[in-house]
């Protein structure tokens, strides 16, 4: 692996502008840390995929373990991959027209660290290179000059978007009622219920991503293009980070609207003192502690509960759970133990997944799965793919959701889920206020 390091000040917009030059190419991957969040300062731009791992329904976790080599790999795990996470039981799941997981190894990867102003260029010399690709390699060797050229470049689009399908409130209310029946019967304590809208758009997926990155910068954003579909994510949530023997998960549960009419401090206090939201987060935090604790060093679990993070339209409450990994356990086993995240399934997790399958009656695809990377040193960082869009042909799938507990009201949960999607609606030029009767 050839590596070249540059110590230069750069703007995050320059990363987007650089990625845009290649946005027409299938396989482009951009993992983007926007905003000034402590969770992550790293962004990765990967171009020209040379190897791939496609995961299907036959032993997907085992196949991923076998096929991963000590290189950089970038990709996703769909929500449906979670049906195979339990070692004793394969859950029922909805079939999807995209793979359960898809990872790629690239000729060129650029790692940006916005805190240290460090840029690292990696060229995978084991990969065959065409003459055209070699020209790009030569260009990247002069990356600082190229980034200067791209400063001030503007990415914009104003095409309208037409909503084709949405879940109406009556359907949502029925599903909430059914979940609450399961809660009263003692099956579960909470279930994450999601709903899907489909819109028609001619917008470039990358321009939608760029608008989201500008409007609602998030630490775990991602853009991945494939031949038949494109993933756009502006996730604020980390599923699992591994750095050496350090492990960290940061589950989010509890949200409140943020706008120019209400003081942030007032909203923060409302969220922190909400018995319902604190109970939801406590349950999911305990679930994460248990999932990590089964495989981590004894007494290594440390928790920081009830933290707040502010985004453009919303304030989130979250916890931080840290642990120490055991050397004898495969890194993928930690990822498998937490996947899918408790914040987007429920508690207990397996029963919540079964109820989600019964009630939602559709594949979630990449939404509420995970997007991330693995390094040659077997470290990794994966998000929970919320605020995530799936583009196929000229349609885009918009999925939103939230936790249902015993004292949830369908109307409040429905509108909270729409609040989470405000930046998405705006980026798509979707008239969400009329379409969803939003107020």
Residue boundaries of the structural domains of the chain: 2-150, 162-202+243-435
Q: How many CA atoms lie within 13 A of 426 on its CB side?
A: 14
* Contact assessment for residue 403 and residue 285, using Cβ atoms and an 8 Å cutoff: no
Task: Provide the annotated active-site residues.
Answer: 237, 253
Per-residue pLDDT reduced to its tens digit, 30-69: 999 998 888 889 999 999 999 999 999 989 999 999 999 9
* Contact assessment for residue 398 and residue 218, using Cβ atoms and an 8 Å cutoff: no
* Contact assessment for residue 12 and residue 19, using Cβ atoms and an 8 Å cutoff: no
Omega before 348 cis (within 30°)?
yes
User: What pLDDT is stored for residue 94 in this prediction?
Assistant: 96
pLDDT less than 70: residues of the chain:
157, 432-439
Quote the CA–CA distance of 399 and 365 in Å, as a whole number: 10
DSSP H helical segments within 49-130, as ranges?
Answer: 60-67
User: What pLDDT is stored for residue 435 in this prediction?
Assistant: 64
DSSP state of 296: B
Comparing CA positions, the residue from 380, 354, 381 lying closest to residue 82 is 354
Return the bridge partners of 264, or none: none
User: What pLDDT is stored for residue 439 in this prediction?
Assistant: 45
User: What pLDDT is stored for residue 156 in this prediction?
Assistant: 73
DSSP state of 83: G
What is the token pair recorded at 59?
Answer: 């032993």
User: What pLDDT is stored for residue 35 in this prediction?
Assistant: 85
What is the token pair recorded at 215?
Answer: 């409007």
Per the rule left: phi > 0, alpha: psi between -120 and 50, beta: everything else, 173 is: alpha
Quote the CA–CA distance of 67 and 50 in Å, as a whole number: 14
Q: Which CATH number fits domain 162-202+243-435: 3.40.50.300, 3.30.930.10, 3.60.120.10, 3.40.830.10?
A: 3.60.120.10
What is the token pair recorded at 122?
Answer: 């990696």
Quote the CA–CA distance of 189 and 169 in Å, as a whole number: 23
- CB-CB neighbours of 46 under 10 Å: 28
Comparing CA positions, the residue from 413, 371, 385 lying closest to residue 190 is 413
The backbone torsions φ and ψ at residue 324, rounded to the nearest 5 degrees and listed phi first, read: -110, 125
């Amino acid at each position: 692996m050839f590596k070249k390091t540059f110590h230069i000040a750069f703007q995050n917009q320059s990363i987007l502008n650089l990625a845009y030059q290649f946005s027409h190419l299938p396989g482009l991957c951009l993992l983007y840390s926007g905003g000034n969040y402590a969770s992550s300062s790293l962004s990765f731009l990967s171009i020209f995929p040379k190897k791939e791992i496609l995961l299907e329904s036959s032993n997907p976790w085992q196949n991923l373990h076998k096929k991963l080599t000590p290189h950089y790999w970038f990709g996703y795990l769909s929500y449906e991959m979670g049906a195979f996470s339990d070692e004793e039981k394969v859950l029922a799941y909805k079939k999807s027209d995209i793979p359960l997981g898809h990872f790629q190894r690239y000729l060129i990867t650029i790692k940006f660290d916005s805190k240290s102003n460090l840029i690292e260029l990696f060229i995978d010399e084991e990969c065959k290179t065409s003459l055209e690709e070699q020209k790009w390699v030569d260009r990247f060797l002069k990356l600082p000059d190229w980034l200067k050229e791209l400063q001030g470049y503007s990415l914009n689009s104003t095409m309208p978007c037409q909503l084709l399908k949405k879940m109406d409130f009556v359907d949502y209310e029925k599903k909430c009622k059914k979940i609450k029946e399961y809660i009263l019967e003692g099956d579960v304590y909470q279930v994450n219920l999601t709903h899907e809208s489909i819109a028609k758009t001619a917008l470039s997926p990358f321009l939608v991503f760029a608008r989201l990155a500008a409007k609602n910068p998030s630490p775990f954003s991602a853009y991945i293009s494939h031949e038949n579909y494109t993933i756009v994510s502006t996730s604020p949530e980390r599923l699992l980070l591994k750095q050496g023997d350090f492990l960290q998960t940061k589950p989010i549960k509890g949200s409140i609207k943020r706008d120019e009419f209400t003081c942030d401090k007032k909203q923060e206090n409302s969220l922190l003192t909400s018995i319902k939201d604190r109970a939801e987060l406590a349950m999911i935090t305990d679930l994460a502690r248990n999932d990590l604790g089964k495989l981590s060093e004894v007494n290594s679990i440390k928790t920081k509960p009830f933290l707040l993070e502010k985004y453009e339209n919303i304030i989130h409450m979250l916890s931080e759970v840290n642990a120490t990994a055991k050397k004898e356990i495969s890194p993928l086993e930690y990822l498998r133990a937490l996947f899918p995240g408790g914040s987007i399934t429920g508690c207990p997790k397996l029963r919540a997944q079964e109820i989600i399958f019964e009630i939602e009656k559709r594949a979630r695809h990449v939404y509420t799965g995970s997007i991330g990377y693995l390094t040659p040193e077997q470290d990794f960082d994966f998000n929970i793919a919320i605020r995530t869009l799936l583009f196929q042909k000229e349609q885009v799938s918009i999925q939103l959701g939230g936790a249902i507990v015993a004292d949830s009201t369908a109307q409040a949960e429905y509108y909270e889920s729409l609040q989470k999607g405000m930046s998405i609606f705006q980026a798509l030029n979707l008239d969400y206020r009329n379409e969803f009767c939003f107020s």
